[in-house]
Structure 1
Amino acid sequence: MTFSLGLQRDRLKLLALGAFLLSASSFSTAASDSARIISTPVEKNAIKQPTSGKVTPNKSSVVGLINLEEVMPDCQQQVSKAKIKSVQRSESGITTESITFSLANGNVTLATHMSDNPVLTLDDLMDATKFIKVGNTYFIHFQICEQTQERSLINIYAI
């Protein structure tokens, strides 16, 4: 059973990576009004634990956040593997306002604009907050706009 779940997780990571690469190569399709949470599917059956006999319901696991920001044509797009160094949350703690990533050439702080996003539900925002963890490494797609000096996160995927 554990081996099967491991293979399923690996398949989902590959699917997320494929979606990441596809979205990174088709910048014009991303928009903040199409933000989504990508998660593993929830199985209908609960798992009976062999040692305790307790029944544990399956839970979905977030593997990516996409289209958090509209891609601007005059901004520089970058795709990188990065580790989260710190996270700035809203006063309520529900929304991630910005994330500082450690990249090979230094640190970069990216706005997420999650609280401004009209399509993310409260449950989506809480799932996104649980997904974003200091110390974890992710594939990220972000933009840097020279005129406004704004740096924003577009897509983020678990590795």
Structure 2
Amino acid sequence: MSLSTGMAASVMPTDGAERQKAAAMEEFLVRHPLDAGEGVARLVSADGEEVEVPAQMFDVLHQISAMLARGDGVAISAVSRELTTTEAAKLLGMSRPTLVRLLESGAIASHRVGSHRRLFLRDVLAFRQRQMEERRKSYEALMWESDALGFTDDV
């Protein structure tokens, strides 16, 4: 697998053997979940040195191993706790001017550092979660309406 260095990294399975190893790891993590408050996961080096794996990192390892097992690549990027408007817009998948309009309307909290706006990561992620929930509810309402009107998927 290739791993680039710096602020962002990407991991791509380079052959079938690596995909099989990732699949074995994903299967192992499914069989041995880390229950909240119970048990401890440990990473052991070849020379026997151990370190505890935090629950959050355990979950990330599970997700990464599942993606690599499918043959998908994984991109890892550092995200600071405080974001510029450009970084926040990119994270939300929207243009910076659209984000600025949301900031001006108060839809997302922000603060100023000098003349520049900054957003806390937690506020951006909370907004994204609210948007996803609203979209899901709208989709479900549309499906209910479609069913009530007798529309089908038949062509």
Q: TM-score range by the shorter chain?
A: under 0.3
* Structure with max Cα Rg: 2
Query: In proportion to residue count, which structure has more strand?
Result: 1
TM-score normalised to structure 2 length:
0.22
TM-score normalised to structure 1 length:
0.21
